[in-house]
Structure 1
Amino acid sequence: MEKPQFVYTTYIRSTPEKVWEAITKPEFARQYWGGNGNHSDWQRGSKWEHVSETKGTAHIIGEVLESDPPKRLALSWIDPDDTADRSKVTLELETVEDMVRLTVIHGDFEAETSMLSDISGGWPKVLSSLKSWLETGAALKIGCKQACVEA
């Protein structure tokens, strides 16, 4: 049986380098991701965490599977409260004219979990907030039941 996946693409008037930094630097990620930062050295095989900057708790943990700045980043995505609930996220950045096409592919999760419904609501909010923040300097106020986007 094929595992489900979620794919979302957005276009951001920015450069791949700025989008990459927004994703990988915690001080930038927390601006648009509900106060949460992404922490790692972003080298293949390294650990990464999605951490509430106010509470200091990791909402998502995993490993860097691929890192090709500023083009591609692939991560394992694990709920620290239920380490059996794991998946894979791939972020692809491509220059298109004066924009960046950012595609998020979130897959390799079990169909029986709530992962698909959680990320189907979470990723569009996070990526819209990222786009707004990079283009205007003002992020969206986001939140959802999925811990990965809650402050």
Structure 2
Amino acid sequence: MDSIFKALADPARRKLLDSLRDRPGQSLHDLQGQLDMTRFGVMKHLGVLEGAKLIVTHKKGRFKYHYLNALPLREVIDRWIEPLLEQPAARAVLSLKSQLEGPPKMTKPDFMMQTYIHCTQDALWHALTDPEANAEFNFVAGSCERDGDALVFRTPDDALMLICTETKLTPKTRIESTFEPHWAGPDVALGKSRFVYLIEPQGENCLLTLEHYDIPIGQEGVADGWTRTLAGLKTWLETGNAIKFSYQTEEA
């Protein structure tokens, strides 16, 4: 945690994080133009942020794209702030007019997240593919059932919330799935996107990377949900406790 506070102490690094929050997936060239310093200086700041796990990168060809990784910040919030918040979540969901069509595009991710989890590779694979496990760590789901290749999530009052259909599995290392939200109600069509889980064993731990692609306009807020879901996954696997990191009501 010391590396997080050290990384956040510099205003230039905070500016880089703000920029990646507003526009994920920027290259070094994109970021360099936002700071009054040399390319090498920006690279040094990005190295500090990457060392603190506050950003993750995705390499495509000769370009390297940078993404804000909110999970370490979530751990700081969970330690000091979350216990002070008592009221449950309530957020409006945007209605969408268009739906993603055609085959998946091989683009860079819209956002990425990474976290280390103290568990075995088998345990993490089971948690990500088992419906009962998903119901335990998903930040808002009341239940989850498997329907063939699909994991079907429902809210605590049994309304259909989300369908994630596995499209390609590489056992214990990679899961590719579609992401089909239904939380706006049965009469509202929301666009479909896709995500990838990557599992890398790291001694007694596993490094889990999430990549989310092709997010329709209006659904950028799914990153907040992923932050809470992956925080719940880490807590559940490391402690056995199911904790719902729900949204908090915002006061006017």
TM-score (norm 1): 0.77
State the 1:87 CA deviation: 0.6
Correspondent of 1:10 among 108, 115, 120: 115
Deviations 1:18-73 (A, max 9, x none): 1111122222222222344443366xxx3332233x43332112432111221111
Question: Within 1, Cα distance between the matches of 2:231 and 2:129?
Answer: 17
Correspondent of 2:150 among 47, 72, 75: 47
Unmatched segments (≥5 aa) in structure 2: 1-106
Aligned partner of 1:148 in structure 2 is none
Residues 142, 157 of structure 2: 8 Å contact kept:
no
Q: Does 1:88 align with 2:159?
A: no
Unmatched segments (≥5 aa) in structure 1: 146-151
Higher alpha-carbon Rg: 2
Once the two structures are superposed, the pairs formed by residues 122-133 of structure 1 within 5 Å of their partners are 122-133=225-236
CA 1:100–1:56 in 2, change beyond 3 Å: closer, same or farther?
A: same
What's the RMSD between the two structures over aligned residues? 2.3
Aligned partner of 2:77 in structure 1 is none
Correspondent of 1:142 among 245, 248, 251: 245
2:234 is aligned with what amino acid?
Answer: K
TM-score (norm 2): 0.48
Aligned partner of 1:101 in structure 2 is 207
CA 1:3–1:18 in 2, change beyond 3 Å: closer, same or farther?
A: closer
2:243 is aligned with what amino acid?
Answer: L
Question: Within 1, Cα distance between the matches of 2:193 and 2:175?
Answer: 14
Q: Does 1:24 align with 2:129?
A: yes
Secondary structure (helix, strand or coil) at the match of 1:85 reads coil
1:91 is aligned with what amino acid?
Answer: Y
Question: Within 1, Cα distance between the matches of 2:115 and 2:228?
Answer: 11
Residues 62, 76 of structure 1: 8 Å contact kept:
yes
Between the two proteins, what is the percent identity of the paired residues? 25
Normalized per residue, which structure has more strand?
A: 1
1:127 is aligned with what amino acid?
Answer: L
Identify which of structures 1 and 2 has the higher relative contact order when contacts are C-alpha pairs closer than 8 Å and 6+ apart: 1
Question: Within 2, Cα distance between the matches of 1:4 and 1:94?
Answer: 19
Normalized per residue, which structure has more helix?
A: 2
Residues 111, 212 of structure 2: 8 Å contact kept:
yes
